[in-house]
Structure 1
Amino acid sequence: MNATTTGRFAAPHEPTYRILLIEDDLGDALLVEELLHDTGLRFELTTRTTLAEARAELAATPIDCILLDLHLPDVSGTDAVTTVRSMAPHTAVIVLTGLAEAQAGPDAMAAGAQDYLVKGKVEADLLHRTVRYAVYRSETERASSEAQAARLRAEENARLERGLLPQPILDTSTVRVTSRYLPGATLALLGGDFLDVVEGDGGLLHAVVGDVSGHGPDAAALGVCLRIAWRSLVLGGHRGDDLLHLMERILLAERGGQHMFATCTLLTLDQKAGTATLHLAGHHEPLLTTSEGTRELEAAHGIALGIFSGPHRWPATVVPLPATGALTLYTDGLTEGHSGAANERLGVEGLLELIATLPAEDPAVQVDLLIKETHELNAGRHSDDLAVLRLDWGSPPARS
């Protein structure tokens, strides 16, 4: 039975309560409905006679308050309360007990009900107050639970961020480092993208941007592991092909039974020689910005880490650099979105066209504008995690 109605004495601005009555006695159900009419509440009443029917209703319809009889054909006692609470953990539950069940109400509240009422002793004013206060307490509990979940997400994000987004180790280098990281889903933890920059011997600047397959804490944990391994190995003197072999061994050991893999770009910037040395492991090329504009560098490719075991080669590409410029390393989240009404993938070509329209600004401002524009073009669609690392040297390149 369903009923949408307003109490006889409802206030003009009274909210409408969506109430589910789970009661197999039709006589008691009619009495409850009559009492609701006298409460002054605005309500939408749905009545179900079994817990199985109630389960289907709760799955299909949002409910503010459940009035629950403790003696149903398919469940009874506090088991009814715990079962209903498991089905609707953030919905107010008011238990209806019999005159001879003195302990049933307190037991029901101990099992999770917000309140209880004794059949035959309920008046309209009492029912009015009980429903309103139970819904209020339930909403307060929900808000508190959501706030606690948000705090836990923020704390976990902070821990992961410290691992995925470390402070660059720069001793004498004059290169300016700009980094950004955004998870692909709203409220999501950081994903498996990672980046890092360290200065090695002889003033060489080493950088990495990588992307672990998948999302969530497992991908993030493996990303943290690979980022820390990269920093330790670079500071220990490992370079290029040798470095990637060791990173792959670590990935295979740390991924456990999950078949995760990782792509990455390794970069060594030598300002004295005016060169950048690239190693690509399943990742795309960086972008080079000069006074003439921005273009994608051409570089040799190697296989992603962890695709299959066996000996691999990751060839090196040495690129000459101008005295002034910028290199941008990034993950797929910057190009895999869709652009505008045409719903076409942005891609590297679209990214370069977009960069050409951006005003000449401070590097950090330009990176933020680029991310903002790609997100707006994607029109709120889901996108991959996004990591951007930009390295600027010399004076800021002017736009031609």
Structure 2
Amino acid sequence: MTTAMPDAVEAASDEPTYRILLIEDDEGDALLVEELLHDTGLRFELTTRTTLAEARAELTLTPIDCILLDLHLPDVSGIEAVAAVRILAPNTAVIVLTGLSEAQAGTDAMAAGAQDYLVKGKVEADLLHRTVRYAVYRSRTERASALAQVAQMRAEENARLERGLLPQPMLDTSTVKVTSRYLPGAAMALLGGDFLDVVEGDDGLLHAVVGDVSGHGPDAAALGVCLRIAWRSLVLGGHRGEDLLHLMERILIAERGSHHLFATCTLLTIDQDAATATLHLAGHHEPLLTTAEGTRELTAAHGIALGIVPELRSWPSTVIPLPAAGALTLYTDGLTEGHNGASSERLGVEGLLTLIENLPPADPARHVDLLIQETNELNAGRHSDDLAVLRLDWGR
């Protein structure tokens, strides 16, 4: 049964309309509650159900602001009734209806999660009015507080992950300018498994990596942090090329556990004296090279992603001659897999190059920010993936 307050009374009140579910199997008590609600002056829509099973069906169909719960139902009773309702509607205010002889029941119900309790036979309209308003307010406040706490914890966890995924470059004598950006795939989301790093080795060469662990969330992010730290440690320890990738793959397999994650990455070594860049692609796409003539995608040999076929160990190298001045941009596929405007097609590398060509002149950091902004606007939220960009400029 569903009833609503008369329109004339509704129009005279500034109260919001409370959607109330009464779970009560006694017809007389249910009628009394309905009459009291009419006397409160509250604007309300009342739905009455006689069992928890009926209430469960109702709660799956209709949003409810407040539940008035009798503790003695045909299919559940006592504190179990409160616990069951809280599971069904964790964000809804619950007011328990107790009998005159149940002095402790109301207190126990509040300890079990109810916002308040009322004793049948001792409820007046003013008391019911205050109790419903306060219970709904308290429930909404608790919900807002919980969401704020989750947001704070998420921000703190993101900050910790970001420190692991986006470290400070280790540069000694190199004149290369480093610009890096990282965005999670969705608002309020945890960072995923994308990672990047830049270090200058004892050999005077500049080493960089951009990688992407499959999947999203804390498992992928933790593995991304692990691989990033492993890469830096191995590079500083003198490991290079296929040997470096083999060791990273061993670490990935050991750390992924039962999660069958894999990772793609690009290794880059810049030798400014020789004016060359050496690439190793492990399931990842080629970087972009920007010169005075424009921006193009490099052509390089491809190797297999880490963790796919561990025994294969195939990561050929490609040596690229570098101009006296230019920039290399390494990125994860979150930059290119979004939609290309109103089209259902993905942006892709060709679309990305067109965007870059049409961007106004800007310093490297501003250029990267504009590029990310443009791709996000074209995508319009239809594709969500983490995005990491690393740009290295020299001779400018």
Name the residue aligned to 2:319.
318
Name the residue aligned to 1:33.
34
For 1:303, the aligned partner's letter is I
Superposed CA offset, 1:202-232 (max 9, x none): 4211000000011111111111110000000
Superposed CA offset, 1:138-186 (max 9, x none): 1111111111111111111111111111111011111111111111122
Name the residue aligned to 1:2.
2
Matched residues in 2 for 1:38 and 1:256: separation?
62
CA displacement at 1:5 relative to structure 2: 2.6
Cα distance, 1:39–1:8 mapped onto 2, change above 3 Å: farther
For 2:161, the aligned partner's letter is L
Percent identity, aligned pairs only, is: 83
Name the residue aligned to 2:260.
259
Name the residue aligned to 1:19.
20
- More deviation, 57-66/226-235: 57-66
Q: Residue 185 of structure 1 contacts residue 383 of structure 1 at CA under 8 Å; is this kept in 2?
A: yes
Matched residues in 1 for 2:6 and 2:361: separation?
62
For 2:142, the aligned partner's letter is E
Q: Residue 289 of structure 2 contacts residue 295 of structure 2 at CA under 8 Å; is this kept in 1?
A: yes
Name the residue aligned to 2:184.
183
Name the residue aligned to 1:93.
94
Name the residue aligned to 2:130.
129
Q: Secondary structure at the match of 2:382?
A: coil
Extract structure 1 runs of 4+ deviating beyond 6 A.
none
Matched residues in 2 for 1:231 and 1:358: separation?
33
1:196 aligned onto 2:229: no
Matched residues in 1 for 2:140 and 2:343: separation?
43
Q: Residue 281 of structure 2 contacts residue 302 of structure 2 at CA under 8 Å; is this kept in 1?
A: yes
Superposed CA offset, 1:49-89 (max 9, x none): 11111112222221111100000011001111111112211
CA displacement at 1:7 relative to structure 2: 8.2
Matched residues in 1 for 2:78 and 2:314: separation?
68
- More deviation, 11-20/235-244: 11-20
Matched residues in 1 for 2:184 and 2:6: separation?
46
Matched residues in 2 for 1:61 and 1:326: separation?
57
Name the residue aligned to 2:369.
368
Q: Secondary structure at the match of 1:76?
A: coil
Matched residues in 2 for 1:86 and 1:7: separation?
34
Scaled by the length of structure 1, what TM-score is found?
Answer: 0.96
Name the residue aligned to 2:334.
333
Matched residues in 1 for 2:109 and 2:97: separation?
10
Name the residue aligned to 2:63.
62
Scaled by the length of structure 2, what TM-score is found?
Answer: 0.97
Cα distance, 1:6–1:333 mapped onto 2, change above 3 Å: farther
Matches within 5 A, 1:120-269: 120-269=121-270
1:349 aligned onto 2:363: no
Q: Residue 9 of structure 1 contacts residue 38 of structure 1 at CA under 8 Å; is this kept in 2?
A: no
Matched residues in 2 for 1:253 and 1:220: separation?
16
For 2:2, the aligned partner's letter is N
Matched residues in 1 for 2:112 and 2:82: separation?
6
Matched residues in 2 for 1:169 and 1:373: separation?
30
CA displacement at 1:201 relative to structure 2: 2.2
CA displacement at 1:327 relative to structure 2: 0.4
1:299 aligned onto 2:300: yes
Matched residues in 2 for 1:52 and 1:308: separation?
52
CA displacement at 1:8 relative to structure 2: 7.0
Matched residues in 1 for 2:343 and 2:159: separation?
37
Q: Residue 24 of structure 2 contacts residue 49 of structure 2 at CA under 8 Å; is this kept in 1?
A: yes
Name the residue aligned to 2:72.
71
Unaligned ranges ≥5, structure 1: 396-400
For 2:240, the aligned partner's letter is R
Matched residues in 2 for 1:6 and 1:165: separation?
61
Matched residues in 1 for 2:309 and 2:291: separation?
38
Q: Residue 337 of structure 2 contacts residue 383 of structure 2 at CA under 8 Å; is this kept in 1?
A: no
1:284 aligned onto 2:285: yes
Q: Secondary structure at the match of 1:339?
A: coil
Q: Residue 13 of structure 2 contacts residue 43 of structure 2 at CA under 8 Å; is this kept in 1?
A: no
Matches within 5 A, 1:107-126: 107-126=108-127
Matched residues in 2 for 1:157 and 1:191: separation?
9
Q: Secondary structure at the match of 1:373?
A: helix
Matched residues in 1 for 2:314 and 2:115: separation?
65
Superposed CA offset, 1:265-301 (max 9, x none): 0000111111110000000000001111110000000
Matched residues in 1 for 2:45 and 2:200: separation?
67
Unaligned ranges ≥5, structure 2: none
Q: Residue 37 of structure 2 contacts residue 128 of structure 2 at CA under 8 Å; is this kept in 1?
A: yes
Name the residue aligned to 1:398.
none
Q: Secondary structure at the match of 1:368?
A: helix
Matched residues in 1 for 2:266 and 2:243: separation?
14
